[in-house]
Amino acid sequence: MGFKIDLSGKVAIVTGGGRGIGRAIALGLAGAGASVVIAGRTAEQLSEAAEQIRATGAKALPVPTDLTDPQQIEQLAAKTVETFGRIDILVNNAARSFLRSLLDLREDGWDKVFNTNVKAVWLLSRAVARQMIEQKGGRIINITTVGAEKAELGMAAYGCSKAALKMLTRCMAREWAPFGIQVNAVGPGLTRTAFSQPIWSNPDIAKHVTSLLPMGRIAEPEEIVPAVLFLASDGASYMTGQTIYVDGGALTT
């Protein structure tokens, strides 16, 4: 079976689309023909990303959103439908983390991580799924991490939240398959963004970390995009509930 990635006429939402991996995904979806709604808290980054998307000839709508606010989540889904009339693809990419040992992490830190990385994904996916059910189908792609499988020092809340997201991916996949909604995840390894800057910008830490990676280097944000495009495309017509790791072999160690 041949397939090409053609998302023309499709409407996608990318959370955290203003920078980093999310911006690369938004640009990738736009390049494949989709209209893209990007959401995040920092309005300037969203406007800048929207300009970049429009420069490719695609439609972009920046929607400043704090995903820890359930009302703003509902508004994001509603604004997308109001502007573009439908939602075909949702990429739950936004996330946060604190580098703290379990002994030092504060309770509100744990809650912030889980509210953003798990609860917001459930609430936004539910709002979007209601629209997708009316449309008789759609694709949801969650961005997880190799840290969902490996216990990384100082990253417990984040790793636990992403392990929960992996299971949420399976639960949504199972419950919503009868409606034609397919739910999968992409798990990057260490990728060069603001999120991981404390690691790659310190030469000693970077040298140590890359020496542990089979491919000997970290990923660039654009290298995460093709897996997302595949999961959004006709080529993934029989896939649901899966996580594809794009990690330079990190999980082989």
The contact set with ligand NAP (CB under 6 A) reads 15-16, 18-22, 40-42, 45, 65-68, 93-96, 116, 143, 145, 188, 190-191, 193-196
Identify which of residues 66 and 223 has a Cβ nearer to ligand NAP in the complex.
Answer: 66
Q: How far is it, in rounded angstroms, from Cα 22 to Cα 67?
A: 15
Identify which of residues 67 and 236 has a Cβ nearer to ligand NAP in the complex.
Answer: 67
CB 158, CB 147: distance < 8 Å: yes
- Least distance between ligand NAP and beta carbon 147 (Å): 7
- Least distance between ligand NAP and beta carbon 79 (Å): 14
DSSP letter assigned to residue 43 = H
Q: How far is it, in rounded angstroms, from Cα 208 to Cα 1?
A: 43
Q: How far is it, in rounded angstroms, from Cα 39 to Cα 236?
A: 25
Shortest-Cβ-distance residue relative to ligand NAP: 20
Task: Please tell me whether residue 210 adopts helix, strand or coil conformation.
Answer: helix
- Least distance between ligand NAP and beta carbon 4 (Å): 26
Query: Which amino acid is present at 127?
Result: A
Identify which of residues 22 and 248 has a Cβ nearer to ligand NAP in the complex.
Answer: 22
18, 20, 138, 158: the active-site residue? 158
Sheet of 89-92, strands arranged across = 60-64, 35-40, 11-15, 89-92, 138-143, 181-188, 243-246
- Least distance between ligand NAP and beta carbon 101 (Å): 19
Nearest Cα neighbor of 56 from 37, 83, 28 is 28
Identify which of residues 188 and 248 has a Cβ nearer to ligand NAP in the complex.
Answer: 188
Identify which of residues 52 and 133 has a Cβ nearer to ligand NAP in the complex.
Answer: 52
Cβ density class 48-65: b for 16+ within 10 Å, e for less: ebbeebeeeebebbbbbb
- Least distance between ligand NAP and beta carbon 41 (Å): 3
Catalytic, 238? Answer no
Task: Give the catalytic positions in this structure.
Answer: 158
